[in-house]
Structure 1
Amino acid sequence: MSLNKEQIAQRIAKELKDGYYVNLGIGIPTLVANYIPRGISVEFQSENGVLGMGPFPYEGEEDPDIINAGKQTITTLPGASFFDSSLSFGMIRGKHVDLTILGAMEVSENGDIANWKIPGKMVKGMGGAMDLVASAENIIVAMMHTNKAGASKLLKKCSLPLTGVNCVKKIVTNLAVIEVTKEGFKLLERAPGVSVEEIKKATEGNLIIVGEIPEMIY
């Protein structure tokens, strides 16, 4: 059984540690704010100028003036603050963010990431992704293992324009948890009911398998 987007976010939330400052990218990463483990305190930062984001609001309780970088309505926790983009990117470029969680279209086996442009399709620009990947010490990617056509998104080499080079540390997909190493993709966990063979078939890049691979707990 492959995971859905909510379950991917739940598994990534287990990577959060008490006191972390975390930036959430657009897409699946924004869901992580809904699954903070009990007993820890985490500050979520959004590049549009918010520190202290909470979970998504319940239907009917949205405030259209309080949004994240993806223009989704959000909640804020006690003590949250709002500021301009220059201060926000000062936090990012100054390496004051402990963990960055991003979506991706492709990731290569050496940790390159492509997550902003598909040639031929109109986009407004790279946004803050370039700053995030250049400044973050720890980047986790949340994405589906394959695209809609069934082709692998974990590649030997990215085919799309790059956002960053050799920067991704870990990937959580609907099939697996994978660490990016110098030798390639190291399989750490598999989704419940998903076999190692299924993951191998869905991974174009070099997949390293050592010993028994445990099932993911999310």
Structure 2
Amino acid sequence: MSKKWTRDQMAARVARDIAEGMVVNLGIGLPTLVANHLPKEREVLLHSENGVLGMGPAPAPGEEDYDLINAGKQPVTLRPGGSFFHHADSFAMMRGGHLDLCVLGAFQVAANGDLANWHTGAADAIPAVGGAMDLAIGAKATWVMMEHLTKSGESKLVERCTYPLTGLACVSRVVTDLAVIDLTRDGARVIDIAEGLTFDDLQNVTAIPLINAL
């Protein structure tokens, strides 16, 4: 399928709907790109589970400080007023319901919002749960940012996850390289779609029924 959003376009689409004043955790992988697309004038506090609040975008080449990193060990910048603290305090923020939103990557998301993002179950796979379980359940809202299809062309949106679960019924929005889909009680509502792609195109590569809310 040729009509896809690039990774930066996906990140910009996520950033567009992050509201003023939110405290947000960006998961390892694709979600870290969101920091580069938040408008400078918008007050958003970015949190990292290794103990940072108030992160900014990635530093310019040559200006990296490897004493200032996110949970994925990538160098970041700090906005005015940013702070550092023990990772136990960081997890207390996550578990205590103090995050408005987390944006996570995923291997699979089920129609009911179940999330699988730490292990494929394969014998040679390296499990990597990190803080995902705490984030998925502790944040007031959980969004997923992922490619729509696996490398073998299978839908990552599924009726029921076949990989080990990270959290139950926790995902409310999925942003893929093809569309933005809200998971609601009424079903999976498509609210945005990559340019040049039709709703039928999207449904044909998606393993769950979709509702056209474009």
Aligned partner (choices 97, 100, 108) of residue 98 of structure 1: 100
Q: TM-score, normalised by structure 1?
A: 0.93
Distance 2:86 2:92 in 1: 10
Give 1:121 shift.
Answer: 3.1
Question: For the Cα contact (< 8 Å) 1:112–1:166, is it kept in 2?
Answer: yes
Residue aligning to 2:72: 70
Distance 2:125 2:104 in 1: 21
Question: For the Cα contact (< 8 Å) 2:23–2:101, is it kept in 1?
Answer: yes
Distance 2:205 2:39 in 1: 30
Question: For the Cα contact (< 8 Å) 1:24–1:46, is it kept in 2?
Answer: yes
Q: Judging changes above 3 Å, is the alpha-carbon distance between structure 1 residues 72 and 169 closer, same or farther for their aligned structure 2 residues? A: same
Residue aligning to 2:168: 165
After TM superposition, list the pairs within 5 Å mapping 1:176-195 onto structure 2. Answer: 176-195=179-198
Q: TM-score, normalised by structure 2?
A: 0.95
Give 1:124 shift.
Answer: 5.0
Question: For the Cα contact (< 8 Å) 2:119–2:127, is it kept in 1?
Answer: no
After TM superposition, list the pairs within 5 Å mapping 1:199-218 onto structure 2. Answer: 199-210=202-213, 213=214
Kindly provide the CA deviation profile for residues 12-61 of structure 1, in whole angstroms up to 9, marking residues without a partner as x: 00111111100000111101111113532000000010011000011111
Distance 1:3 1:102 in 2: 18
Residue aligning to 1:116: 118
Residue aligning to 1:48: 50
Question: For the Cα contact (< 8 Å) 2:25–2:101, is it kept in 1?
Answer: yes
1:144 is the counterpart of 2:147: yes
Give 1:208 shift.
Answer: 1.6
Where structure 2 has 5 or more consecutive residues not aligned to the other structure, the ranges are none
Deviating above 6 A after TM superposition, structure 1's stretches of 4 or more consecutive aligned residues are none
Q: Percent identity?
A: 47
Question: For the Cα contact (< 8 Å) 1:111–1:180, is it kept in 2?
Answer: yes
Residue aligning to 1:216: none
Aligned partner (choices 122, 129, 134) of residue 132 of structure 2: 129
Give 1:103 shift.
Answer: 0.7
Kindly provide the CA deviation profile for residues 45-84 of structure 1, in whole angstroms up to 9, marking residues without a partner as x: 0001001100001111111111101111111111111111
Kindly provide the CA deviation profile for residues 104-159 of structure 1, in whole angstroms up to 9, marking residues without a partner as x: 11100000010010112342541100101111121111011001111100001111
Residue aligning to 1:36: 38
How many pairs does the alignment contain?
211
Distance 2:19 2:145 in 1: 18
| RMSD (Å), alpha carbons | 1.2
